[in-house]
Structure 1
Amino acid sequence: MKNYELIDNEAAKQYEFHVDGTVPRIEYIKARDKIYLTHTEVPKGLEGRGIGTALVKAALEDVEKQELTLVPLCPFVALYIKRHPEWKKLVLKGINIA
């Protein structure tokens, strides 16, 4: 799979890739030492290519690098963490990823 460059677009409050003239993204809210990942969106023409999964992984790597506590409000992000439990270490204590 191709590697895409993760862009933290702070003005738009989203992580994004630029792919074939489109912008797959994860919207977020940052509050002090926490980051709430609220919504993941991959344009229709890019679905099924693993881009959403790659975007979540890249975003989680950035969250870890910034030493932020993650609150995964987006169901897609929560499902990724459920499937990759090594990322649970970033999640706010007391939040159950079911």
Structure 2
Amino acid sequence: MSKYSDMAFEVEKSGSRGRIVGRDAVGNEAELTFSLSGEDRIVADHTGVPKQLSGKGVGSQLIEHLVSFARETDRKIVPVCSFVQAKMVRSEEWRPLIAS
């Protein structure tokens, strides 16, 4: 699936909670929410993509940014969100980052 390129992504954190947020030029916003667990885990608990962005690969892009954040902070991901779980299990690149 090709990437929807009209998105700006960032990590927003507040204490142990955070989200990866993507915004497009007209104000549509997609998010993947997470919490930090201990020193080595990120619990990914929800992915939300508005229907205007549905089917454009935005959810996968959110996971890509989560994976980058996990690598930068030397953490594994606990994919509680079923979408994140399904995508990570199917990806040879992302699978090693699933917390055991």
Could you state the TM-score of these two structures normalised by the residue count of structure 2?
0.82
Could you state the TM-score of these two structures normalised by the residue count of structure 1?
0.84
Letter in structure 2 aligned against 1:45: Q
Q: Is the CA contact (8 Å cut-off) linking 2:88 and 2:98 kept in structure 1? A: no
Cα-to-partner distance string for 1:48-97 (whole Å, 9 max, x where unaligned): 1111111111211211121112100011111111221221211112xxxx
Q: Distance in 2 between matches of 1:34 and 1:3?
A: 30
Cα-to-partner distance string for 1:2-22 (whole Å, 9 max, x where unaligned): 174331111362111111302
Which is strand-richer, 1 or 2?
2
Which is helix-richer, 1 or 2?
1
Count residues in correspondence. Answer: 93
Q: Which residue of 2 aligns with 1:22?
A: 28
Q: Is the CA contact (8 Å cut-off) linking 1:60 and 1:87 kept in structure 2? A: yes
Runs of 4+ in structure 1 over 4 Å off: none
Query: Unaligned stretches of 5+ in structure 1?
Result: 94-98
Q: Distance in 2 between matches of 1:6 and 1:22?
A: 12
RMSD: 1.6
Query: Unaligned stretches of 5+ in structure 2?
Result: none
